[in-house]
Structure formats: C-alpha cells, structure tokens
Structure 1
Amino acid sequence: MNTGLEGKTVLVVESVNHFGRPTAVAFAKEGANLVLASAQSSEALEETARQVSDQGVRVITGACATGNSSQLSELAQRGVAEFGHLDVLVNNTMLPVAPESFSELTFNSWKQKIETELQGSFFICQGILPLMVENNWGRVINYSGLAAFQGSDAGSSASEFGIIGLTRGIAREYGKHNITANCICPGGAQAPGESAAQVYPPSESDPMPRWGKPKEIAYLAVTIAAEDAGYLTGQCLMANGGKYLL
C-alpha cells in the first residue's frame, strides 16, 4: 500500500505511551517526518525520537503540558519552520485512570478527566487546524475510547464521547479545505512490560479473545491518514477485537 505519506509532517501528541510511540514509529516507516510532543519525561520522549530517527527520517521534539496551547503552537511552528508544512495531527491525550463509580466520583477527578482529554483536545485541534488550512490539506486523528459506547465510568464516558463529537464537528467544518477528521477508539491493548491484570481483560466470549497490539492501532492511524483515504471523515473507528460491535 502506497500511503503517500513520504515527506509529510506528522505531529504526535503524547508520543511516549504505549499507543503514541508505536504510532510515531509507524508513520516514520512510511517516510514521514515527525514532530513529537509529550508532557511526560524527556528521557521517554528522546527514546521515541531515537526510534523514529532509526527509520531514516527527521524529527523534532518538545515538552508540552496538556492543555497548554501556547507551548503546542510554538512546537508546531517549529515543525513548519523545519519541514515546511504540518499535515497530520495524531492527538493521543488519553488519561489512564482507574474507573470510579458515579456515587464516588469526585469533582476533581471529573475535572481532571475533562480538562486533560476533552478540553486538551479542543486546544490542540484549534491550534493546529489553521496550519492545515494554509496548506489546503490535512488529517486530524483523535484517540478516544470504548467508554464512550460501553458506558463505563461517567467521567471517561463523557470525556470520550465529547472527543467524538468534537471530531465530527471539525470534519463538517473543515472538509472544504481537504481536511479529514476521524477518531480511533482502541480496545484493551497490552503494552510491553504490562501484566494481564493491568489492562482491560479479554473475555472468552469476545470474537477475538486476546489483547490488542499497540502496533495494530498505530497502523490504523497510518491507514486513515493516507492520501487515498481522503473521503473518510467524521467517523469513529473501533479497533477492539469485537468487544463492542456497532
């Protein structure tokens, strides 16, 4: 498959976790240059950059606090100055927290989830889209999750469904600029070093009773960012091994 991504510039937000790093490397394998952002440790960010550079492409990095639009805009502008354009946004600002029952959900927990995921996604997309409009081409890929559909804990469900709504609003408004916007909702995926108890447990009743692999999610992002995926927009793609069927 020729994705047409060679020479494109891809910004991956939160590029050090078990979805972000494989996604960055997958785009690098397609010949894309990378702009890597993370609020996590600089050592982890540099490790992602090293793995990306090993694919023979260029990469720049920046520490960006989630929701800090000025930091992210500055990094994006560095990417444009270095590579000439910014073409693909992969927004992976998902907050891993233990589910809480609604009766025990504190306002601080609710606020943290909404501010990190939904409000963070708003700031990220609003800051990056003008750069895509200038180029009359772009791909916005927001990560969400199954809680939006399964109705697990209220904080995750509200935040993740909000990201889907945000993405669809962007798709409707920016399609005229040849910009697509889609969501990826991964199911349980086991990261290197994680035990089975640390991830969403597979069930023997699932169509595919196993954990997902982060690289399987990464290549879904590559596929919907491809040049020939330009008619796919406003959609929510669920890579969950059939845990939830829509």
Structure 2
Amino acid sequence: MSDRLSGTTAVVTGGGSGIGAATCLRLATHGASVAVVDCDREAADTTVAEIRSQTDRRALAVKTDVGDEAAVRRLSETVADEFGSVDVLVNNAAVRVDPRPVTEADEESWDRILAVNLKGVAFCCKYLVPLMDDGGAIVNVASNGATVARPNWSQYDATKGAVVSMTQDMACDYAADGIRVNAVSPGWVITEYHLPDDEAAARRFFEERTTPHADGPGVLKRAAAPKEVADAICFLASEEASFVTAANIPVDGGVAAVGKGLSWESFGGSDSDEVN
C-alpha cells in the first residue's frame, strides 16, 4: 500500500459507482481518508464498505445532489465536522440526457445537465475550497467529448467543455492559496452502466471491451477500466504532480489524438455507450 496521500482528506463526488468509486478506493489505498459523495446513498455505502474491507482508512458516505446548492452547503458542513479540512476534491458527479441535436433538446434536460455537470462543480468548489486551509488539489472529471466532435451530444459535451475552461480559470484563481486545479478527460470507460446483469456475462463483457481489439477505439484499441482513470486522478491529487496545474489530461487511449469516429459497431459498442 502506497502512502503518497497519507494523512490527507479527499472528497469525491459521484463516488458510488464507476470512475468515482474506483477513485475513492485508489485514494484510500494511497492513504487518504475519503468522503464518498453520491445522490444514491446505498451506492455510497457500498463504496465505503469496500474501502473499509481493503484499507485501514476512514471513509464516510454522504448523500448529496451536487446540483442543489443548499445540499452542497450541508455537505461542506458535514465534511468540516467529520474531517476538519479538505486536501483533495474530485468533482466527478455527472448526469447524461438522451443524445439529441440542440433543435430537439428541451429546457428540462438543459436545466438538469447544467445543474449537475456544471453548477455542481462550481457549488462544490464554492463550499469546499474554503476548507482547503493548507493548499490542496482539485481534479475535475471532464470528457474527451469536450474537444472531439460527435453527433447528438451537444448538451453533454458542452458541459464538459465548460468544465475544462473552468478548470483553467480556477487554477489561476487559487494558485496563490496553494491549490492546484486540473482536469482529466476520459474516453470510453466500462462501468456498471454497461454491464449485463448476469455476473458471468458481465465479466466477459468487461474483459472483451478492455482488451485490445483490431477494431477497437483510439490508439490502444480498447476501452478503459475505471481504475485506469482513477490512477490518473490520484497522480494529479498527489505531490508527484506538484508543478501541474491548469492541465487537462486525456485518459482516453489516444481517441482524441486520432479522432473519435462516428461508429464503433464493429467493436461491439456504439456512440451511446460512452460514459465520459
């Protein structure tokens, strides 16, 4: 077990599943105490149980809708009461709406995706940055969709593009306080969302999609496991990245470098399979 984050406290939103859950576990493995934040309390509890079973680190589940400013304020109060201060904030929580062109998007879907994916990042920073009383690191989870075009994803990708821009500006705002702010932009990541209900089928699906295939996406010709994104987040959260700020690191197997492509049917997936 590494101690690169020993003695630190981390807050991870969307920590109940996928990239968020993997990040919580990896941060704890590296020595951090973790507040697991999710709108699904049961999912957050599951992550906490996994942390406690695999590490000796402290973990706390907090049910929060990050798109609700009052709820995020309460989250900050809970974190302050339980941990005192924050060293690492990972803004991972996000929602998707049905992919469609802007001419077919309704106001309700815009309101929800902006509330969680964009305002949620802002609210968490607004209320948790003041708890970073000895500097710290913020990692925002964006998407390679922020920089690579694809049809019908204007709503989601617009929010992620804004997250990248916000990351750069916040890095300027808080550098004097010793706070580094970076983003990661994942590509296709295989999470619980994609897996069949049958355990054996789910295991096969995961192995197939995360193994290089001639028709796979990007340079590495495969999708990612959540822990591969989590490792990049842990790097940015640690002092090993002490001179890295205002960066957006693609963690997408080279998809952004060679183009997303409009169809991955031959790989057994589709554009709608993407998570980040």
Q: Same fold per TM (> 0.5)?
A: yes
Q: How does 1:1-246 map to 2 (within 5 A)?
A: 4-40=4-40, 42-54=41-53, 55-132=55-132, 134-135=133-134, 137-152=135-150, 153-192=153-192, 194=195, 203-204=215-216, 206-245=218-257
Preserved CA contact (<8 Å) 2:84 2:131: no
Query: SS where residue 215 of structure 1 aligns?
Result: helix
Change (3 A) 1:236 1:98: same
Shift of 1:82: 2.7
Please list every run of 5 or more consecutive structure 1 residues that lacks an aligned counterpart in the other structure.
Answer: none
Please list every run of 5 or more consecutive structure 2 residues that lacks an aligned counterpart in the other structure.
Answer: 197-204, 259-276
TM-score scaled by length of structure 2: 0.80
Preserved CA contact (<8 Å) 1:67 1:124: no
Q: Deviations over 1:32-53 (max 9, x none)?
A: 101111112x221111010111
Preserved CA contact (<8 Å) 1:147 1:157: yes
Once superposed, which parts of structure 1, at least 4 consecutive aligned residues long, lie more than 4 Å away?
none
Q: Deviations over 1:134-177 (max 9, x none)?
A: 22x11111111122111332112211111111111110010111
Q: How well do the aligned residues superpose, as a CA RMSD in angstroms?
A: 2.2
Counterpart of 2:81, as a letter, is A
Counterpart of 2:49, as a letter, is R
Preserved CA contact (<8 Å) 1:23 1:215: yes
**Structure exhibiting the larger radius of gyration computed from Cα positions:** 2
The count of residues paired between Structure 1 and Structure 2 equals: 240
Counterpart of 1:244, as a letter, is A
Query: SS where residue 19 of structure 1 aligns?
Result: helix
Question: For 1:81 and 1:107, how far apart are their aligned partners in 2?
Answer: 38
Counterpart of 2:185, as a letter, is C
Question: For 1:18 and 1:87, how far apart are their aligned partners in 2?
Answer: 22
Question: For 2:50 and 2:73, how far apart are their aligned partners in 1?
Answer: 24
Question: For 2:241 and 2:180, how far apart are their aligned partners in 1?
Answer: 9
